[in-house]
Structure formats: structure tokens, C-alpha cells
A and B are shown apart, each in its own frame.
Chain A
Amino acid sequence: MIYEPSMTAVVVFFAFVGFTIGLSFYLGGKAKSSAGYFAAHGQIPWFINGIAFAGDYLSAASFLGICGMIAAYGYDGFLYSIGYLAGWIVALFVIAEPMKRLGKFTFADALDAKFDSKGIKAAAGISTLIVSVFYLIPQMVGAGVLIQPLLGFPHWVGVLLVGAVVITIVVTAGMVSTTWVQFLKGSLLVVFSAILVVMVLQQGFKVDNATFPSHSLSVSEFDRQAIAEAMNRELYEPSTWADNDQYLQFTREEGEGYDVFRADIQEGGSMIVSEAQSITTMANGETLIGGLPKGDQPGQGHLRPVGRIKKLPNEYIGQAETGPLGPLKFFDVLNRSTVVLWGNETLKNEDGSTTKVFYQKPTSGSQVLRPGEHPRFAGIRSDSWKGKFNFLSLMLALFCGTASLPHILIRYYTVKDAAAARKSTIVGITSIGFFYVLTLYLGLGAMTSGTLDVTNSNMAAPLLARGMSGLLFAIISAIAFTTVLGTVSGLILASSGAVAHDLLNGVMGMEFSENSQVRIAKLAAVVVGAIAIVLGILFRNLNVSYLVGWAFSIAASANLPALIMLLFWKRTTAQGIVASVIVGMFSSLGWILLSADTFEKVYGIDPLSSPVPFSQPGIVTIPLALLTLIIVSLITKNGKATAT
């Protein structure tokens, strides 16, 4: 069984949650005014704020999604690490200090600093909400994914629990408690990831060809009986896939059920037959693993953990393991080894059930350590211009997205001045950069430590920790969970600011007293939190890192051109900013909703019928928003226009 609910993990997790909620109540008195609730009175020390940047930014997509993607496919996940970090360069050199000087509580404040325009407040407020909600969904889904194996609760309980805890944190003390939760989470995440990487390097690589054996047979064509005889096994009857010429089922020597093997015919008349794993979903919804009901008791079946080294380089001939490796030697050895990745295939059965077969894919280390192996990035190794543009578009969105994420931008208002904003960004870049260096080791460590779950790559990092020690697993799982808490708190705070401060007060002209504005913001936080809970439950099957990429594209298209031009182009007008935000937001959102990826993964319809040429919008919609701003600004001349 891959997961056993760990009592230690439960205790560590609830201790952490109890501590953060206690802290929130303790700090509650500091957030009675708007300045306290939205911006912690600008009194957060720059170093704390810098680590809180890491806590805010390193979301479930970074810790779980990237490590999982690297564990399943290799280097490609690291492209996200590079892009996410590169975006901070834009934040530091272009945005940080002016942002601090221009704004007060929200991103809309900064955009609107010169104009006092309701249009800008409305557009920026709505874009904040849309980006934050897109970013919230994967965090909530991630929370549910984590809680299932960790505490043994169903997915929806995890989503509900995170939602409730976060709403409590935000409502009790706004930005003050959010900052401290993010500071705690950021420092714990970086420190424990580093400890885990040290353990991975200490452990080195071990060869394991026994857990999932492969046999080379001198059989030249797919003949079940001949293969069974050559392997000295007995065929399982009746076969589920009588007319399939790749998979076989053998009876087990002990107990019921069957073992699945996959046969691959080699050149020269031989055949490799290697053990696979299977999950069958019956027409009545029941799940069978290897032909037995899912479970851990006798007479039940469960999937086994995967992720192994098949062959080490020549200098280790005759040795089963490398022993401790240095940080560079780690890549050198892996580059010359062979690892076993896992593919999967879904087979339809005659009785209406479907079986998903997971099979071994021996892959050379040099292939694992190069970009272009993941289906999302495969385009860069093909001749198709669409694939290349999709890649360029994604990397552009990651670069431009960071400095336009509302929940990151509001963190600039929590420090006292522009110099503190700059210093905290530097601390943020250093800690985030260090963490992203670790992701490649964590992912590759998980790929080769025999701890992975074939059905859920997102759990790679916590499961890697479990392979090291039970206590570390408990701590890493609790940290992964608080990773979600920290990021979701920031997002809900940004959203509640957009509703209370930008839309109700700024656009609709509702005048609130200090206390009422905070009350309204807290109410908005509860509502946004509730919406996030519902969406987290509804979208539970979506890949976590996927939606984050979308949020980046929308943020980069809607917010960055307006922000940059406001800072660098004197002739920018209010109308230009409004048009740019609206065009950027809706063009990127529309493009995403019409993309082949969404057609396939969200609507479940044929991706070929998608009207847009590639899935990532950034390369089209960012320049489009920029052009819109320039044209509209030139038409409307400078900001002395009167009401239209």
C-alpha cells in the first residue's frame, strides 16, 4: 500500500494549523483598520516580508506540481522553476519600488495613482478577482489531493478544511496574520526541502530490477501460450483482453487476482516482457486492482510504489548502489544511467469496464535530463511551429506573470518604504531561487527512490520524504498542506481587497468608515473562500500546475502592459489603461477557454475542433494588450479628458 494514514502526520498537521490559527487570533487586534487589514500598517520588517514572498509565491504548483512533473518526466518540470523565478527579475528591477510608491492597499491603487478613474478601479478589481480565482482553484484541488493519503479523509473534506482554516486566518487578522503564516511556511518549506535534498544526495542511486521484473524471451511473436511457457507462468482465464496483443494476465502463485505483463517485440526476434500494474473501473463504479477489490487486506489488491534505477554507469558494474553523491556528480551519474519511467494506456473491456494499465518505460538518463519529453513540451522537438509557439508563449507568460499577480503585488504595501520593498524582493528572490534549485533534485530523487504513486505524480515530494523517514514525511506533508494555506490566504486577501476597496468603495462610491470597510472586506473574504471551496471540489480532477499556468497568462496579459506603460510612458491615459486591462483579460481568458487543452481536459471534447492554433495565449495577448494601450492612449491624448 502506498499510503497509510500516519498518526504523526496528523498530529504535526493539526499542531501547525492550531498554531497558525492561534497566532491569527493573537494578532487579530492589529487589523482593525483598513491599513492594518490590507497592509499590516506597512510595518512588516523587510526580511520577514521577503520570506513571506516565498511563502506567498511557492504554491502547491511549485512544491507538488513541479516536483511531480520532474519525477514523472524529468527536466521539463524544471522549465517552470526557471520561468517562475525569472519573473521575479521583472518584479525587482521594474515593478517593486514604483509599486510601493504609487499604491496604498491594492494593485488597482497603483494603476489608478495618476488618474483617480473609476474605470481603472473596476477593470483592475475585476482582473484581480479573475486571476485570483484561477489561481485559487488549483490550490484548493491540491489541498484535497494531499488530505486523502495524509489523513485518510475524502477529497472534499480536505478542500473544506483548508477553506475553513484560511478564512479564519484572513478574517481574524488580515494581512498581519497572513504575513506570519506565509513567513512560517516559506521558511519551513525551504529548510525542509533542503534537508530532503541532502538526504537524497546521501542516499545516492540504487539499482532495483527485482520489484518489477523484466524478462527477455526468445519468442518472436505475441503468442500467449508460448510466452507463458517461456516464463513458466500460468495464463489467467478468462483473459480480459483476449484480442489485445500486448498485455497478458498470469495467475498468482498465492492468492487470487492476476499479475499483468506487457510484451514488447524487439528487433531480431526476441521479446521483452515486463511486469505492469492495472486498475479496472467496473461498469458499476467498483475499482479493481489486479482483478481484486481495492484495499490492503488479504483478498484485496493495491498499486505498488514505482520509480527505480534499472542500470548504473559502467564504473558501478557489480555494485547495487552508488553511495553518497555530490550535487554535480548526481546529474553526471544519472545522465549515464537508465531509469524506469511509467507510461499508461486505457483499454476498453468487453463487459463495459475499462482498465488503465501502467507499464514500465526504461529511459536513458540523458533523455530524462533534457527538455522536450513531457507531452506539453514535446513540440520543441518536433517541426511543428505550433508546438514551438506554445512553448514560447508559456515561457513569456511565466516571465511576465509574476510581477502582475495581485496577491504578490499587495505584499509591497506591507513594508514601510521603497527601499524596504526592494530589500524584501531581494530576500524573496534568494529564498525562492534556492528553493527552485532544490526542485530538480527533489523531483529526480523521487523518480529514482521507488516511492512514487503511478496514479498521482503530485504526491512525489511527500512520498519521497516517506521513503526517508516517517517523521520527515509527517513534517513535509504538513508543510505541503500549509503551503496551500499560505498561498490561499494571500489570494483571498487580494480578492477581498478588490471587492471591498476597489469595487464597492472605489467604483460604486460606497463610503465606509474604517471599521465598516474592514468588515465588508472580511465578508468578501468569506464569500470568496466559499466560492474557492466549491470550485476546489468541482475541479478535483484537473492537473494542479495547469491552472496556475493559465492564471499567469491572464495576469501577464491583463495587468503587466498597463503597469509597465504607466511607469515608462508619459502619454498613457486612463482610457488606455482600462482598454488594455479589459482586452488583455478577456482575450487571454477567451483564448484559454477555446484552447485544445481545455477542450480535451475540461469539456472532454475533441481537441482538434479547437479554433485557436495553440493553447498558451501569452505570446498573442500580451502584445495585443500593449498595442491596445498605445492606440487608445494616442486617440484619447493625455489624462486631461473629461468624463465620457
Chain B
Amino acid sequence: MPLAEKSFVLSATDPAPESEPSVTADVSTPTPAASDKASRLGLVLFVIYLLLYGGFVLLNAFQAETMDTIVFAGLNLAIVYGFALILVAIGMALIYGMKSVDEPEATEASE
């Protein structure tokens, strides 16, 4: 790790602003309100997805046999949950994309 120990120079040209924390740390362009709202929506969707994904992983790890349960139409939970994770990700991405447009647009909340 020779490079790890290298000393490094810090410049104070860009001190961290004392504003409320936002996703954008300190960036050159101020974020418009729309984008601020979008990032809040993004974080909400992210947390929802994290819970869904975490649920899937924990179920597999500690209750693997529940994955064999037939949920509907002859499909087991492993397939239904797995496909749902992929489709929900796509759905969330599309919702986020529609909501993030600067001019407010009517969007349907799917799911």
C-alpha cells in the first residue's frame, strides 16, 4: 500500500456549505426545487425498493422453503418475487422519470 501512505494536499477553496444536507453535496449549480423534489422522491422510492430487496434476500437466507410455495397460476414465490423485483425496478424508474420533469405533470401512481 505504498500510495496509501502518501501525503496529500487539501485546499480549502471549496469548503462544505452549512446548508441543509441534500443529495447534491456542494455542487457548482444550485438545484432547482423541482430537482430537489425529485431527489426526495428518489430517496423514498429507493427506501421502498431497499425494503423489497432486503425482504427477498432475508427470506431466501432464513426461510428458503417459503420460496417453494405456489402463489398463483402455478408460479412459486421465488419466481413471482424475483420477477416483481425486476418489474418494480423498471416501474419505479419510469415513475421517477415522469415525476422529475421540471414542469409538473399528472402521473398515475402505479403499483
Contacts and interface: CB of A to CB of B under 8 A. Distances in A.
A326 to B, nearest CB: 10
Contacts of B75: 328, 331-332, 335
Interface in A367-405: 369-372, 380-381, 388, 391-392, 395-396, 399
Interface in B68-111: 68, 70, 73-76, 78-79, 82-83, 85-87, 89-90, 92-94, 96-97, 100
Contacts of A641: 10
Interface string A355-374: 00000000000100111100
Interface string B47-85: 001100100111011101101101001111011001101
Contacts of B12: 639-640
A430 B86 CA distance: 9
A158 B38 CA distance: 46
A114 B8 contact: no
A81 B86 contact: yes
B24 A115 contact: no
A371 B64 contact: yes
A577 to B, nearest CB: 10
Contact of B83 (A89, A115, A437): A437
A388 to B, nearest CB: 5
B21 A568 contact: yes
Interface in A83-113: 85-86, 88-90, 92-94, 97-98, 101-102, 113
Nearest to B74: A332
A349 interface: no
A448 interface: no
State the main secondary structure of chain B at its contact with A. Answer: helix
Given A369-B78, A426-B94, A433-B87, A118 B6 contact: yes
Nearest to A423: B97
Contact of A425 (B13, B46, B67, B93): B93
A38 to B, nearest CB: 19
Nearest to B53: A86
Contacts of B87: 433, 437
A419 B35 CA distance: 9
B73 A380 contact: no
A586 B13 CA distance: 31
A98 B25 contact: yes
B11 A436 contact: no
Nearest to A571: B16
Interface in B1-40: 1, 3-4, 6-16, 18, 21, 23-29, 35, 39
Nearest to A573: B10
A93 B8 contact: no
B76 A369 contact: yes
Contacts of A570: 16, 18, 21, 25
B62 A388 contact: yes
Interface residues of B, number: 62
B45 A93 contact: yes
B25 A430 contact: no
Nearest to A581: B4
B10 A75 contact: no
Contacts of B68: 366, 370
B78 A388 contact: no
State the main secondary structure of chain A at its contact with B. Answer: helix
Contacts of B35: 97, 418
Contact of A86 (B18, B89, B100): B89
A642 B12 CA distance: 9
A546 B19 CA distance: 44
A126 interface: yes
A418 B12 CA distance: 26
A101 B61 contact: no
A391 B3 contact: no
B46 A429 contact: no
Contact of A426 (B1, B9, B10, B93): B93
A380 B60 contact: yes
Contacts of A586: 1
Nearest to A100: B27
A94 B27 contact: no
Contacts of A118: 6, 8-9
Interface residues of A, number: 81
B7 A434 contact: no
B57 A392 contact: yes
B96 A115 contact: no
B97 A372 contact: no
A63 interface: no
A101 B74 contact: no
B4 A437 contact: no
Given A82-B56, A93-B43, A380-B64, A639 B15 contact: yes
B6 A122 contact: yes
Contacts of B100: 419, 422
A566 interface: yes
Contacts of B14: 113-116, 639
Given A370-B78, A388-B61, A117 B21 contact: no
Contact of A116 (B13, B39, B79): B13
A437 B86 contact: yes
Given A123-B4, A126-B3, A94 B93 contact: no
B85 A86 contact: yes
Given A94-B46, A568-B21, A114 B16 contact: yes
A567 interface: yes
A209 interface: no
A89 B88 CA distance: 10
A582 B3 CA distance: 9
Given A98-B23, A370-B67, A372-B60, 16 more contacts: A93-B46, A97-B23, A101-B29, A113-B14, A114-B14, A115-B14, A328-B73, A335-B70, A369-B76, A381-B65, A388-B61, A396-B57, A399-B53, A436-B86, A573-B10, A574-B8
Interface of A: 75, 78-79, 81-82, 85-86, 88-90, 92-94, 97-98, 101-102, 113-120, 122-123, 126, 328-329, 331-333, 335-336, 366, 369-372, 380-381, 388, 391-392, 395-396, 399, 418-419, 422-423, 425-426, 429-430, 433-434, 436-437, 440, 507, 566-571, 573-575, 578, 582, 586, 638-644
29 contacts: A86-B49, A88-B93, A89-B89, A93-B43, A94-B46, A98-B23, A98-B27, A115-B14, A122-B6, A331-B75, A332-B73, A332-B75, A335-B70, A369-B76, A369-B79, A371-B60, A372-B64, A381-B65, A388-B62, A422-B97, A425-B93, A429-B93, A434-B90, A573-B10, A578-B8, A586-B1, A639-B14, A641-B10, A642-B9
Nearest 6 CB-CB pairs, A to B? Answer: A332-B74, A119-B8, A93-B42, A93-B46, A429-B93, A101-B27
